[in-house]
Structure 1
């Protein structure tokens, strides 16, 4: 009788030392956070500092606000993992992972993933030791959430399509450090629009300078007209369609006489012996597309002038800008021809002959 009792005790101990696997409660489903990415994002052309956030979804709650993972033994692991290349590779630093578009990376944070992982934690393809006790443990994800950021990886960003897989990332509770080991999926992140068109706003001019050869002008011509000259020069801009373009004419204004609402450039030898007097130089601009024409009003000096403007909306909460109507953005066309006209403009009662040169700088600002 004593021998039989001892055998029962041994069997009881063997049963107690058997193991179970982490598994999701049968009443719970994977909590899926779905983030709706914008169709397009506008950025400025040029280089970006690494870590510059181009888009931030904010934390988006999952489909099940309470998910319990039960029967985890003390040596289980929690995985914070991406599901597809290139995000499954190495980080570019600061938990940023590459995307299909050069210069733009992705960074994902998970929140409320139970126990020590309830704080915001980056998805980084790592397996963390769970906080199980000697006995089996259960863990509940209350309001599991994810946040997705598109982040500059450093350097120039070109226009292009950025594609992300869906589902993108997830959190697993496993008995070993692999997605195929015994265990279960607790939460995941999906993206409802897997492709984002990134537009790098900017233009390239086909020439670096303009030279207006006014030749010799008989001062008698100013007896019949205030404006004499009419020499034209053109330049071409190759642009990302929809780019906003502003122009600043940087030049010294005439110091006295009529300055035509601050549009007359002073002569370089103004006031010097042998220099002409009583005139300034005025620039006008016409775009072949018809988007801008100053007529004979002149271009204001030393102040930005918007010559091409698109219609845009700013999403303040997610930190990005987009076209109001992507099919009709406005702003610059892919190619824009700008024709400048230079005139001498009589700004005093009498014009005195002499040297009449002028110089200035045309600065284009793109965004």
Structure 2
């Protein structure tokens, strides 16, 4: 499995990109309002007329011919999560921005916008069981090299179904479906050097032991006897004739057990043994507003709402059931550029018509 840059490198690149965008916006005369919350879209028969906001607690009207809705989804809104995603989603850990609470989408729906996409699904990863919300270092994504067990000591998913970039955003909700909404990731000494940087931080819920029996005693909430039997079944099912290769889908899997492991299967038999307590963390939601190829928001008559555009997680219909890593960044960049260009063209055409 290809090694990825350290998380700090990603964060550094992201901050540099944001800084560059802010500098460019400033050079173009764009004002950025902080401590400002949009509360209502102003809308008439001809289309968008502006936005009602609260700036530092004071109501204010901003008149505008066009508005780009790039306010994210509703992953940080407990009520909307429970309403649309269903039971248990009110207790998941929240990643991403704490301000993605769905008001932008709701404001558009209130003026007749059409909803789109998979409103009952979300980007949900496996991460530390006890790390507080909105904190960096939550994810635990080296599971393809080990196994996951629930409180009954049983495996419940194919850890090696594919590269983690193609499974990590859906495996969180499989953990949420388990009793008490948690699991343990198990690794042995043969693969511990393959674990990602996120496993080495100070805020990691981890136990370590020199035997599986000792490890089971330390794993909070897990049925010890069933866990040890599950390990024995798993170890016996591995096809060791196939060589292990962490850099590709190696086909080293299991045979004859109810929950298979398709790739990267190794016997868990070499001390020291490590276990990491994990749960479900939500990154963003899939449901949003219906847009066309020009990023124009559609109404319930499938007609564009003049002057209203959407990009990023506010736009629905891009992801269903699963999500490939990095696709959200690309979607935001592509539809953000389209929305901005189209909004500018629309305003210019409106001004030209009135001259």
Q: Fold match, TM over 0.5?
A: no
Higher-RCO chain (CA-CA 8 Å, sequence separation at least 6)? 2
- Shorter-chain TM-score range: under 0.3
Q: Give me the TM-score of the superposition, normalised by structure 2.
A: 0.23
More strand by share: 1
Query: With structure 1 as the length reference, what TM-score do the two structures score?
Result: 0.23
